[in-house]
Amino acid sequence: MNTQIPPLARRAGPAVLLSLVLTAPVPSSALQVFQESGGLVSMEAEHASARISALSRDWLDIASSTASGGTAIQASPDSGTYSNTTDSPRAACQVNFTQTGVYYLWVRLTGPSSSSDSVHAGYKSVMLTTSTGGGLTSGSAPGYVWDNTEGANRITFNVTSPGIHSVDLWMREDGIIVDKLIATQDSAYIPGGAGPVESERVERPVISSAASAAGTTGTLFTYRVTAPQSVDSYSASGLPAGLAIVATTGEIEGRPTQTGTFAATITATNRGGSDTNPLTITVTAAPAAITTTTAFRNAMGAAVPGSVIVLANGTYTNFGYYKVIKSGTATQPVIIRAQTPGGVVFNGNVQFEVQANHVILDGFRFNGDARPSPDYANPPASSGLLKIRGTDNRITECTVNAFNRVNAAGNPTKWVQLKGDRHRVDHCHFAGKVGQGQILDIELDGTPDYHRVDRNEFRNFTYGGDGTNEYESVRVGVGTLATSTNAFSTVEDNFFESCDGELETISVKSSDNVIRRNTLLNCRGSITLRQGKRNRVEGNTILNLNGRAELGGIRVCGTDHEIIDNYIQGVRTSSSHHIGGVVLMSSDYHPATAESTMLAEDHWPVKAVTVQNNSLINCKQSFVYGGGNYGFPPESATFIDNCARNDLTGDGSFDFVRVITPSTAPSPAYTPAYACAGERYYGSALGFTPTPPGVDLTTDPALVPAVINGYTLHFAPAGVNAGTQAARIAPLTAANAGPLAYTP
């Protein structure tokens, strides 16, 4: 024992010999918060949220073969120093408590000798042990022991309000070694061995985005609050008029309406806590509007990073072809905008091609049937109206309405083409397209793209009627590069209505993309994973509300896709080809075929596809196994916790599953593997026998109607894991997508 400690305050014991290796203290920036659950939290001492030095002592990591996880912490150096106050080294574990009440604190500890084996404990920086009671100790026992008492008194604390509070340790004797802490509401709980596994830890956000930003009045302003950690929500105060923050993404967007310097505050929050930083936003007056095409071209020729080119409101006929070659930067983009959003209308011959970086096209309308005149400087015939190259460019709040230009050969063209990296198309309105050519086409270049297509409105794409391709509303990739390119693009929160161009409204022909929270209303086409791997289709809403026949759902080719939390209602078809709620396509190739020998436009084998927590309501052919009958059935798919409900309101009783058997047996032979778990189908027959394990046809899921954004949808009651839930989808209307500042 340290000779300064009163003998009666300590319990003597033999020295304990351990093999220890000292390491550096944990970095103070690694602030992680433990998550209490069910009235218990288990904390590895080496993961303490903060370690505070004092008395020339530190809590240092030690390697210990008998410690939980192989690591503990020791108050070092061990040279006979002690303390009975909070002026000694402290290790604080921040805990997110969800349940209030009394907690019992246990500590797993040991010491290299009987004079180095005690520690003080506390809650919210207040010591729970006493200056005379001896603290928590390993006593005379060798190795690690659990201690919960100081003398005859159990160590407890009372959590009076939920939230993040600290559970604390202070060195009593230097040399003390602490392995683990447990706080539990169970008074009878006694930990054994190394105790329970460590509770979940969440790292508190630390904002890393710039402390200042600049904008101009009437001009789109974009700033994103960023943190390397996971963030649950963002907030801001003191923003200039016209700006607002999106709580889910941290994007501060809008159009400032007044000049000045504004002292704003930004906050990022997760279960581990919050970080708040100042943000200075300087807003200057926008430049005068340009009134002629000549002045516009001159201004573009003189553009530098941060330039704002404002085109005066009005109608411009035969504006012609213009190539943007002047780049901005991430913080100072080149912005080309209408004087007021939607106030500039282009008719006749016009085309913008961006071959630069960090350029924004903002607020333009393209109207009418635009057929090139003989003197039109038209680039190659396949070029679209808006051809975007380079990196980090953006099209926002633009409208393209019935702009059905044909090329020199008299053929229709695409509207928007993206090639390069990290482009964004958002809050645009596209309507009235006829003829071949996608509304929006993401072209692959052999490298990841990371494009984002969000909050747009796609409407009234006329049915091609001739059975040919190239009528997709949105296409992500092309077959020749589909499996070799990891595109990493996102199509989210878009509204599609009456997009009937072909059977693929959203067509994915690349890998590692996310298609989420889109709404397809009365569209002939499906969300189609035509080629590629590892794509995720999540939280989409697909509705047929007018009883039209041959309207699709989700169609799948390829491998390792995830189809999760989608809501599909009202599919009406008897097609054996491509249509159904969720269609697993057949393939032109045996699953064992080498990919290098497969042709780009063929149907590749379905393998290792996960279909989970989807709701299919009143659908004819909720699921199709082997759509198209191309020769080889799907190889493998897993169905988990999906809900299919037919005849819900007298809409008809249709078989849930259609199995399309190939005309000839596959060679070499294989049996498709469809694993099921927690599947709930009710209201009609399965469609094949026998009923596989994991499919329940007898239990009514008792769906409850819910009105979301004007749509009446049906979900399993809370606590029943059958299909998706209302909180997991976001069905849109035309009012929730397209331009914010004007009505197209």
pLDDT tens column, 205-248: 999 999 999 999 999 999 999 999 999 999 999 999 999 999 99
The 8-class DSSP code of residue 464 comes to -
Instruction: Give the pairing of strands 567-569 and 636-640.
Output: unpaired
Residues in the chain: 744
- The C-alpha angle with vertex 268 and arms to 263 and 270, in degrees rounded to 5, equals 160
Running DSSP on this structure, what letter comes out for residue 350? E
Q: Residue 381 in contact with residue 415, Cβ under 8 Å?
A: no
The string of DSSP codes covering 2-45 is -TTS-GGGS----------EE-PPPPTT--EEEE-BTTEEEEEG
pLDDT in tens, 111-138: 999 889 999 999 999 999 999 999 999 9
Q: Which fold has domain 7-201?
A: Jelly Rolls (2.60.120)
Query: Residue 578 — φ and ψ, nearest 5°?
Result: -130, 0
Give CA–CA dist 228/32, Å, rounded. 13
**Residue 385 corresponds to which tokens in the numbers above?**
């109206």
Q: What are phi and psi of 293, to 5 degrees?
A: -65, -35
Q: What is the pLDDT of residues 254-307, one digit of tens each?
A: 999 999 999 999 999 999 999 999 999 999 999 999 999 999 999 999 999 999
Q: For residue 668, is the peptide bond before it cis, meaning its omega torsion is within 30 degrees of 0?
A: yes
Residue 490 carries which side chain, given as an amino acid letter? T
Residue limits of CATH 2.60.40.10 in the chain: 212-284
CA distance 384 to 377: 13
CA 650 to each of CA 62, 236, 646: distance values in angstroms, whole numbers, following the listed order:
69, 49, 8
Q: What is the mean pLDDT of residues 534-547?
A: 95
One-character DSSP codes across 395-438: EES-EEES---B-TTS-B--SEEE-SBS-EEES-EEE---SSS-
- Please say whether the beta carbons of 125 and 168 come within 8 A: yes
pLDDT class of 348 with cuts at 50, 70, 90? confident
Q: Evaluate whether 350 touches 316 at the Cβ level (below 8 Å).
A: yes
Gap between the Cα atoms of 491 and 154, Å rounded = 57
**CA-wise closest residue to 218 among 171, 256, 181, 268:** 256
Using omega within 30 degrees of 0 as the cis cutoff, is the peptide bond preceding 690 cis? yes
The rounded radius of gyration (Å) of the Cα atoms in the chain is 32
Residue 418 to residues 18, 112, 389, 390, 470: CA-CA distances in angstroms? 63, 66, 6, 9, 16
Angle at 517 between CA 511 and CA 520, to 5 degrees: 95
Sign of CA dihedral 642, 647, 649, 651: positive
pLDDT at 334: 97
More confident residue, 29 or 207: 207
Measured from the Cβ of residue 111, the count of other Cβ atoms closer than 10 Å reads 26
Say if residue 599's pLDDT is above 90. Answer: no
- Write b or e for each residue in 691-709: b if 16 or more Cβ atoms lie within 10 A of its Cβ, otherwise e: eeeebeeeeebebeeeeee
Nearest Cα to Cα of residue 673 among 643, 706, 617, 633: 633
For the residues of 200-212, what is the DSSP string, one character each?
A: PEEEPP---S-SE
Confidence of residue 410 (pLDDT cuts 50, 70, 90): low
Rounded to an integer, the average pLDDT of 359-366 is: 97
> What are the two backbone dihedrals, phi and then psi, of residue 46, each rounded to the nearest 5 degrees?
-70, -15
**Other residues' Cβ atoms within 10 Å of the Cβ of residue 354:** 27
Average pLDDT over residues 623-644: 95
* 3 state DSSP class of 337: strand
When pLDDT is averaged across residues 614-624 and rounded to a whole number, the result is 96
Report whether 504 contacts 528 (CB < 8 A): yes
- Separation in Å, CA 689 to CA 613, 662, 686, 693: 23, 17, 8, 11
Interval 53-104: pLDDT, tens: 999 999 999 999 999 999 999 999 999 999 999 999 999 999 999 999 999 9
292: Cβ contacts below 8 Å, ≥ 6 apart: none
Report whether pLDDT(380) > 60.
Answer: no
pTM for this structure? Answer: 0.82
Alpha carbon distance 529, 511 (integer Å): 9
Q: Confidence band (pLDDT; 50, 70, 90) for 383?
A: low
Average pLDDT value over all residues in the chain: 90
Q: Does CATH number 3.30.420.280 belong to domain 212-284? A: no
Cα–Cα distance between 149 and 161 in angstroms, integer? Answer: 25
Q: For residue 598, what pLDDT band results from cuts at 50, 70 and 90?
A: confident
What is the CA angle 661-665-667, rounded to 5?
135
Of 421, 492, 413, the closest CA to residue 456 belongs to 492
At 130 the pLDDT is 94
Q: What are phi and psi of 117, to 5 degrees?
A: -135, 30
> Is-contact 242 202, C-beta < 8 A?
no
- The predicted model gives 488-513 an average pLDDT of 95
Supply 256's token pair: 């400032």
pLDDT score for 466? 65
pLDDT of residue 429: 98
Q: What is the mean pLDDT of residues 510-526?
A: 96
Helices (H) and strands (E) in the chain, counts: 1, 66
Mean pLDDT calculated for residue range 141-167: 95
- Give ranges for CATH 2.60.120.1620 in the chain: 7-201
The β-bridge partners of 320 are: 350
- Which residues 6+ apart lie within 8 Å of 415 measured at CB? 384, 385, 386, 400, 403, 430, 433, 437, 438, 439, 440
Question: Distance (Å, rounded) from C-alpha 553 to C-alpha 572?
Answer: 10
> What is the pLDDT, as a whole number, of residue 8?
26
The yes-or-no verdict on residue 486 having pLDDT over 70 is yes
